[in-house]
């Protein structure tokens, strides 16, 4: 990605890409403004005007190559434009549902009663309310047995420190519905920031292609559905990648501030292992310092009750599997069907008739997978200096994906975000041919395969389990291949572009890292 303002006026290509990029941000900004009390029509108008003002500066900063590239590749241009328009429309529909809960016809799965009425954010909001009221045990499932309008309350399963964000929302004022809209805007903004920052940091032709593929990521059900239900998974992954980019730039304090908070989701802690393997002691220390700071702030603000409840009630339930007992309730086998976790494979096999499997088996599988993920993070960290920027970013995301799959329960909508982002980087680094384009198309469809719960004729549970497991295998396979491959090997995948990396990445040149001038995934495939 270009990082300096071009003195020449932008051409039609840069104007079009700038408009579509800002179009992806418009639904988030408009919804956030609506959450703060603006009427939806006024919020949309303000968002459009604000983003329109940013159009010219953004167009000037985009790579000059885009002014003529699409004239040379009209089919690719049309396909990318169509994907971007669809992404803007789909996000806009979900944004309208977030701004007005009565507009269920704009839900990501408008036909599915479950997803229309499901809100992960409801659990965060309820836990924040309970902590404000001084509840003795905000992890008690009975406190989440009610509903908020059409939304059944979700259970709160996170560390107490995570409540800093939803409690801050309560300080800002507003009810559940307005804060639900603001949460959507915040998480969507973090995701876009992560996608844009990674593409810019990668630089060169691969970075440009990663930027152009952002709409394909944002169009995916993994992103749209998860943003709608408000699960923090997407933001935790994006914050972790943003932190790693900061560490790469030598900004250990800001990187530690980001990763220190993301780590309260637990799985980003695997990147801490990666940092230690690289002997990035300062980065790891600042991460730990900020995590400790957030813990102190949370303890002083929330009081001791949430921490005592977690230590004496929730932590034992997590250790023995009781926190996910709902996975074993008769009649809820469909939940196991959409569970993309590696330990969840045990329950899938049990439902399909394999005997002798229980929670202890799930626990053993979880710890085996944890050990394997730690080993892979160490190996990846030791290989860091041999990797290009594209490879480094891909490895970070792949490690996050592998860590996500360790949890006993990973709904497909949140579990597929890391793989779909990883898919875009794999596609960005390669040359096209018929075989690889077909493989990429299959992988994109698999990373979009968020199974609805109802509202459509669906196969029986065994067939759904087999389909979901096939999707899971592709998603995990992408992550494993990225981490285990030797740096510099030619990628087996490609997309629609030919070589256009004759100029070194501007960001690499500015940072003075000679290793990043030839991006290995691209140079080996394109030259």
Give 3-state DSSP helix, strand, coil % of the chain, rounded to 5.
70, 0, 25
Three-class SS of 258-315? HHHHHHHHCCCHHHHHHHHHCCCHHHHHHHHHHHHHHHHHHHHHHCCHHHHHHHHHHH
Q: Is 152 helix (H, G, I), strand (E, B) or coil?
A: strand
**pLDDT for position 32:** 94
**pLDDT for position 1:** 55
Between CA 477 and CA 340 the distance in angstroms is 13
Between CA 15 and CA 67 the distance in angstroms is 9
**pLDDT for position 85:** 95
Q: Are 289 and 260 in contact (CB under 8 A)?
A: yes
Q: Give the chain's length.
A: 527
Between CA 275 and CA 182 the distance in angstroms is 33
Three-class SS of 388-446? CHHHHHHHHHHHHHHHHCCCCCCEHHHHCHHHHHHHHHHHHCCCCCHHHHHHHHHHHHH
Tokens at residue 340, please? 């993309």
**pLDDT for position 327:** 86
Tokens at residue 319, please? 């250790």
Between CA 440 and CA 445 the distance in angstroms is 9
Tokens at residue 28, please? 């988030």
List pLDDT tens digits, range 454-493: 888 888 889 999 999 999 999 999 999 999 998 875 444 3
What are the phi and psi torsion angles at 499 (to 5°)?
-60, 135
**pLDDT for position 12:** 82
**pLDDT for position 521:** 32
**pLDDT for position 40:** 85
Strand partners, 151: 148
Report the chain (527 residues): mean pLDDT per 10 consecutive residues.
Answer: 60 88 94 91 91 90 82 84 95 95 94 94 96 95 92 94 95 91 96 96 92 96 96 97 97 98 95 97 97 97 96 93 86 87 94 90 94 97 94 97 95 95 92 80 92 87 92 95 82 36 34 32 32
- Residues 6 or more apart whose Cβ sits within 8 Å of residue 58: 18, 21, 22
Q: Is 118 helix (H, G, I), strand (E, B) or coil?
A: strand
**pLDDT for position 512:** 32
**pLDDT for position 507:** 35
**pLDDT for position 434:** 80
Q: Are 501 and 526 in contact (CB under 8 A)?
A: yes
Confidence (pTM): 0.90
């Amino acid at each position: 990605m270009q990082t300096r303002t071009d003195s020449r006026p932008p051409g039609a290509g840069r104007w079009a890409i700038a408009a579509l990029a800002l179009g992806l941000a418009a639904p988030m900004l408009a919804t956030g403004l609506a959450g703060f009390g603006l009427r939806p029509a006024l919020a949309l108008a303000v968002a459009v005007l604000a983003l329109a003002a940013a159009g010219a500066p953004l167009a000037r900063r985009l790579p000059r190559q885009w002014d003529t590239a699409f004239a040379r590749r009209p089919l690719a241009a049309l396909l990318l434009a169509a994907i971007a328009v669809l992404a803007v429309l789909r996000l806009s529909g979900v944004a309208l549902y977030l701004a007005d809960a009565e507009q269920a016809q704009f839900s990501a799965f408008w036909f599915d009663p479950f997803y229309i009425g499901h809100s992960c954010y409801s659990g965060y909001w309820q836990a924040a309310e309970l902590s404000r009221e001084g509840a003795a045990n905000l992890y008690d499932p009975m406190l989440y047995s009610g509903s908020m309008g059409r939304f059944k309350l979700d259970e709160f399963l996170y560390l107490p420190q995570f409540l800093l964000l939803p409690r801050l929302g309560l300080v800002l004022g507003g009810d559940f519905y307005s804060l639900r809209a603001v949460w959507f805007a915040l998480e969507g903004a973090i995701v876009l920031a992560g996608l844009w920052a990674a593409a810019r940091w990668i630089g060169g032709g691969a970075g440009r292609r990663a930027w152009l593929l952002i709409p394909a990521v944002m169009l995916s059900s993994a992103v749209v559905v998860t943003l709608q239900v408000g699960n923090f998974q997407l933001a935790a992954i994006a914050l972790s990648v943003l932190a790693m980019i900061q560490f790469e730039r030598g900004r250990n304090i800001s990187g530690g501030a980001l990763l220190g908070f993301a780590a309260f989701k637990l799985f980003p802690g695997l990147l801490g292992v990666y940092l230690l393997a690289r002997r990035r002691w300062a980065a790891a220390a600042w991460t730990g310092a900020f995590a400790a700071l957030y813990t102190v702030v949370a303890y002083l603000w929330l009081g001791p009750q949430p921490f005592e409840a977690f230590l004496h009630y929730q932590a034992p339930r997590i250790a023995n599997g009781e926190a996910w007992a709902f996975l074993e309730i008769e009649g809820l086998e469909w939940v196991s069907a959409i569970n993309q976790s590696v330990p969840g494979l045990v329950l899938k096999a049990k439902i399909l008739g394999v005997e002798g499997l229980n929670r202890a088996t799930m626990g053993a599988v979880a710890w085996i997978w944890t050990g394997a993920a730690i080993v892979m993070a160490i190996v990846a960290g030791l290989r860091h200096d041999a990797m290009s920027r594209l490879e480094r970013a891909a490895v970070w995301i792949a490690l996050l994906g592998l860590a996500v799959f360790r949890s006993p329960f990973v709904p497909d909508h949140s579990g597929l975000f890391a793989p779909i982002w990883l898919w875009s980087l794999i596609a960005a680094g390669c040359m096209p041919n018929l075989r690889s384009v077909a493989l990429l198309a299959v992988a994109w469809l698999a990373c979009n395969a968020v199974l609805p719960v109802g509202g459509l004729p669906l196969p029986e549970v065994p067939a759904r389990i087999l389909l979901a497991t096939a999707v899971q295998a592709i998603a995990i396979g992408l992550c494993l291949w990225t981490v285990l491959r030797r740096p510099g090997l030619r990628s087996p995948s490609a997309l629609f572009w030919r070589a256009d990396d004759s100029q070194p990445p501007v960001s690499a040149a500015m940072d003075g890292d000679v290793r990043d001038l030839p991006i290995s995934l691209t140079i080996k495939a394109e030259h």
